[in-house]
Structure 1
């Protein structure tokens, strides 16, 4: 038994090497497409497996579970969900301008509905996949590599005859890098590639006159045309894309906005978010011109209808949609692909260089294979033609030979020993025979009917055709221009069969300008009940309903409709909400949870104070915590624009029991669970920063903590009930901060 070898090395070196190996494996073998066929490994393996299973476009559909299982077992051992997801995406015409798989069943929708389970759906290859990606695999056109367990062979790359990487685009997240390539129009991309093949000196700007830019399956409008040359030169940048909005006139002078195309980035759940965003704009009174929203989208296309008030400014509303929602969005371009075995960000010309080189390689290998086959046929045909001329001699050799080996030897080298001939003349002729091994085998296997005159004539014609094929294939292989013509002829055929009109417009458009209407500033009263439901009313409405409002509301606050509300919670956080976004109307109008208008989460924390920002920054905040810490903080520290910020720092396990503006309050009364009361002047509490914990307000025993905090103004009289005993707070003994206080006996 051999001794165990221990290699001592730096742990960091091992980690670095292992991580780099892992990262490269993800990059090359999982996440990024190959520039030559534009496919990620899972896509390539799925298509090849369907090709091998014979699930062609002219044959019946097969269950996706069968395809996924076979692909996983033979080529892609990384889980069925990734294979099925890749299959589904390759069949969705709203994601791929050129779907590669023909799906049958529920394959999801543009609105984000997922595909049905793979046991319910069926699929087969699209014709374009067979012709443009999988054709000629039997002609030694690409290298085959062993699969993961070396029991099968799979192509390292598919023989794609079109610039598929650009036509269908790609998306993928690797380790430390990601790719995002927009889809393009097949006709335009092929035209640009042909032009570049004929003249490699063409600039990116010149190529973009042929292929103006991306062509998204969802249509839309690209609005930064002038920035595209730099994006296609470097392979990275941002494309701004808008949905298409049309104005439809209705009876009675009304109009409605109809969104007929959406940005490519809005596919899926973002359509629902877009509708919610419009609803929020209406709810927050950002616009009052939208009366109703209906999503009338169907299989025929997108149709989102916004019903408007009579006399609404449609241009202003359209600009608002572009500015405030995802109807105008950004598509981040990063044309990263695997080129020569390594990830590389490629510009348009570099992609064309790689694809064109690959086309020449494919055609060289194809026509070499075809030429060798024709040369083999030529050899056999010439042998058979020659044999027909001396068929009587060959029959005599066959009849005179003891075995096949003797007859074959005579045909190949003229060896006549042991063969019985009718005459010496025949023997002399036989000694001159010099057929090749292939020719001799073909002669020995030839059937007698081949000696019929018409069959011999057909053989002569076939030989003539073979000679023409040899001349043609040799010309293609030895002449660059001829091979280029062949490649262009193939491209033209695909363009004619599968080309479609462009869907996306590419223009230079001005940035959407939306000027929000200035809100008429006025005082309003904020009302929030104990369940966190809030609304605002005007001051006159409040005065008319003051008694009911005060009794039903936990917080009543007068503020300006242009101000922000500050919500202080027991967790030491402060949340802000714009007053103008809160529901405003009549006193009995429906209220909504404050959670809807701020980041506050009522399930996780509790509001202990509500203030307007205007009052807050002019005042001083007072905090008291459950375990007896206190401080004051200048309101200026809370003048922030963020929706969530820290209000005060807390010890672990502590929480804010009381928070409020100091205002006219001069006395503070603290009440503990064990019945201790401490009254002391507010002025004894030091001012600290909001990031400070504060100082001790009251000495508490180990099991005691504060239960209530009361802030009193000068001369204010307040009586409370403590365990059914009335306590006059103003009559409590005066004390100082950090004392134990007086115990109330009951």
Structure 2
């Protein structure tokens, strides 16, 4: 076959297609869609930021047209469509999508409601100070590797020397071939603390890391409602996070109310808001709810504000749950923490991402200080040569004046070659032959200016030399000592946290599953029964009446309530837990019931129940709170008409416990009894009304090592007896005193 003829290669078509598709898929995965675990950036983001850095569009310089940035990036580094580059630039400037914006945009960069950015010819941009300091500093110190660009006319960084775990802080979204990544944003300060904790103890568990990283921190705020699922998500790198918008209830004139959505789920950004408005309108049209009178979107630059005006008497809680169930006000964020690690895609847990980041930090810091050390060592060599030259300057001048060329002078300075140089005396020749400067020192001596021989300049040179020696010592310590390098890295992280850290926006909690009852349950009275082991149930009133004697004997608490209401539990830890009556098992008298721990946030191991009551009845009563340290207060029961499952019912002093919560009226008498037998009787009207968040006032002056043991209430005129030390005490016969007295020791 001659050289001019083509060579035909026979191959199976399917093999060729297979190979070509795999090559294409890997290209999309590695070089387009997935971020690098080290800097958390996709190639298009990295190239755009680097191009802005090279163009000098720093945070302290004027803005430049985005068209210029996009064109330059496309021509030098990213040979793809201009829209892909501009889209990446826009997202990096949107504070509602990124935990920390990397680009400072000037002009219309779109809105949270889905409005697109203006064309690139109208908008301007520059780097933020954070990006400049955390992602692009030290590029001149050989901290990362550069590679050729697509046409090998430029060099581009293979990774940026990111000082913070950008993959966690800004998250990532990308669809590759056969795989996708979805990483939520996190709080900078929390992530920095987690990195520091890992550096101090690399055996730290994901659970321990989550003491620092509480969960995702979305720029749109919202509420993560499945806190208990986060540990498995952060361990495996995969899972589903449930997020809700923040809904507030505002009172209007005439007893009306309105629901105001002030924060939306991160997944609702863009067209999701208009979709939500349409879904709510649809619920009204299809008569799923008749409680909503009007809906308006009052969002502005100040933030999200979607208002649902309700009719008088609307069931707010039920409506909230309907919105969670029927619209995207509660949504799921699918987590798949996939990133390129060591050149291949890998699903990473929280600890693994931090591990890769810390390894990268040590690599970058090592390279930085090796570069700095080499420069300082060069400086030291030159400085030592110049100091030495100043001591024999007359001889050096004689060598220079006697030389015919720079080559001869240099040969003499470096190797002591004196053959082609004229000397004034043999002594000078002998001394010149002993000179042994290095090449670098000789060059510096030959280039030295005469003013350097002035006394002050020589002193300055010696001081510079001392600084250089100190720097070398410090750099060698950093390079040779793990703790010293850790200190440097942690110091940098602390600076970023101090300057750029902010409070968390997203609340992380365990919330009740949104239960929306479309059909009204027939309201009826039931009796709540709970035994001393915490097993609870509700029974019909007629069932209770038939078994009244056994029920009262076996049950610790018996409460008459409506099946549509709630039961409140006050505990000695000063908390109030609530459970819906409908959530309690209803049935036969001999049914065992369900442990109350399973239905509320109450933990029998940590706190003891001291009172159980019907939530509905509380709005009509006042409650007397008493603690073991003798603090008292009256609280209006309506303060406990709350939607939350658990609230702080009172404020306790250090080492104090809630002793008693009882329904009280002003015409009753209060009798306080201490452990050591002191009794104090006074009018209930002497106890002031306070808010639930108050500590209260002192009821009795306790003696040393004494504490309150019982609080009794009775009405004057009704003889009331109690048992104390196996003796009967008639409360009516006790002397009436004032609150905050010492009381009288009971002698029997």
User: Considering the TM-score relative to the shorter chain, is it more than 0.5?
Assistant: yes
Match of 1:54? 56
Find the partner of 1:387 among 377, 386, 389.
389
Q: 2:103 — aligned with what?
A: 101
Residue 183 of structure 1 pairs with residue 185 of structure 2: yes
Q: C-alpha displacement at 1:448, in angstroms?
A: 0.6
Q: Which residue of 1 aligns with 2:337?
A: 335
Alignment match of 2:26 (pick from 24, 27, 47): 24
SS of the residue aligned with 2:332? strand
* Residues 507-586 of structure 1 aligned to structure 2 (within 5 Å): 507-517=509-519
- How far has the Cα of 1:300 moved from its partner? 0.7
1:174 equivalent among 176, 179, 199? 176
Q: 1:213 aligns with which of 212, 215, 237?
A: 215
Q: Distance in 2 between matches of 1:385 and 1:202?
A: 52
Once the two structures are TM-superposed, the CA of residue 519 in structure 1 deviates from its matched residue by: 12
What's the CA shift string for 1:691-710, capped at 9, x where partnerless? xxxxxxxxxxxxxxxxxxxx
3-state SS of paired residue (2:181)? strand
Which residue of 1 is the match for residue 697 of structure 2?
none
Question: Under a length normalisation based on structure 2, what TM-score does the superposition of the two structures give?
Answer: 0.69
What displacement does 1:5 show? 2.4
Deviation (angstroms), 1:6: 2.3
Within 5 Å, which residues of 2 pair with 1:38-53?
38-53=40-55
Instruction: Give the CA deviation at 1:517.
Output: 3.1
Query: Helix, strand or coil for the counterpart of 1:394?
Result: helix
C-alpha distance in 2 between matches for 1:519 and 1:495: 53
Q: Given the alignment of the two structures, is residue 496 of structure 1 paired with residue 506 of structure 2, yes or no?
A: no
The question of 1:268 aligning with 2:270 is answered yes
Please state how far the C-alpha of 1:390 moved relative to its aligned partner: 0.4
Kindly indicate whether residue 256 of structure 2 is the aligned counterpart of residue 282 of structure 1.
no
Q: 2:328 aligns with which of 322, 326, 330?
A: 326
Q: Which residue of 2 aligns with 1:720?
A: none
Residue of structure 2 in register with 1:718 after alignment = none
- Residue number in structure 2 paired with 1:73: 75
1:462 paired to 2:461: no
Which residue, 278, 295, 303 being the options, matches 1:301?
303
- Are positions 1:259 and 2:256 aligned together? no
Q: What are the superposed Cα offsets for residues 634-681 of structure 1, whole Å, 9 maximum, x if unpaired?
A: xxxxxxxxxxxxxxxxxxxxxxxxxxxxxxxxxxxxxxxxxxxxxxxx
In the alignment, structure 2 segments of 5+ residues that lack a partner are: 523-748
Equivalent residues, number: 520
Aligned to 1:482: 484
Shift of residue 493 of structure 1?
Answer: 0.7
**1:346 corresponds to which residue?**
348
- Once residues 454 and 53 of structure 1 are traced to their aligned partners in structure 2, the CA distance between those partners, rounded to angstroms, is 41
In 1, the alpha carbon distance for the partners of 2:16 and 2:134 equals 44
Q: What's the counterpart of residue 657 of structure 2?
A: none
Q: Residues 407 and 115 of structure 1: is their aligned pair in 2 closer, same or farther, counting only changes over 3 Å?
A: same
Q: For residues 507 and 200 of structure 1, what CA distance do their matches in structure 2 show?
A: 28
CA deviation after TM superposition for structure 1 residue 492, in Å: 0.6
1:233 to 232, 235, 238: 235
**In the alignment, what sits opposite 2:620?**
none
Name the SS of the counterpart of 2:250 in structure 1: strand
Structure 2 counterpart SS, 1:91 = coil
SS of 2:293's equivalent in the other structure is strand
Q: How much has 1:404 moved relative to structure 2?
A: 1.1
Number of the residue aligned with 1:445: 447
Give the CA deviation at 1:518.
6.0
Paired residue secondary structure (1:124): strand
> Who is 2:317 aligned against?
315
Q: TM-score by structure 1 length?
A: 0.69
Q: In the alignment, is residue 430 of structure 1 matched against residue 432 of structure 2?
A: yes
Q: Give the equivalent residue in structure 2 for 1:111.
A: 113
Mapped partners of 2:500, 2:148: distance in 1: 33
In structure 2, how many angstroms separate the alpha carbons of the residues matched to 1:235 and 1:84? 30
Q: Deviations over 1:433-478 (max 9, x none)?
A: 1111100000000001111111111110110111111111111111
Which of 413, 421, 430 is matched with 2:415 structurally? 413
Cα distance between partner residues in 2 of 1:378 and 1:7: 63
* Greater radius of gyration (CA): 1
Alignment root-mean-square deviation, CA: 1.1
Cα deviations by residue, 1:380-408 (Å, 9 ceiling, x for unpaired) = 00000000000011111111111111111
User: What is the deviation of 1:379?
Assistant: 0.5
Cα distance in 2 between the residues matched to 1:189 and 1:437: 49
How far apart are residue 231 of structure 1 and its match? 0.4
Hey, what's the Cα distance between the residues in 2 that align with 1:421 and 1:200? 67
Alignment of 1:85-164 (within 5 A): 85-164=87-166
Aligned to 1:370: 372
Q: Any idea what SS the aligned residue of 1:60 has?
A: coil
Alpha-carbon shift at residue 7 of structure 1 (Å) = 2.2
CA distance in 2, matches of 1:3, 1:353: 57
Superimposed CA distance per residue, residues 525-555 of structure 1 (whole angstroms, 9 cap, x where no aligned partner): xxxxxxxxxxxxxxxxxxxxxxxxxxxxxxx
Secondary structure at the counterpart of residue 310 of structure 1: coil
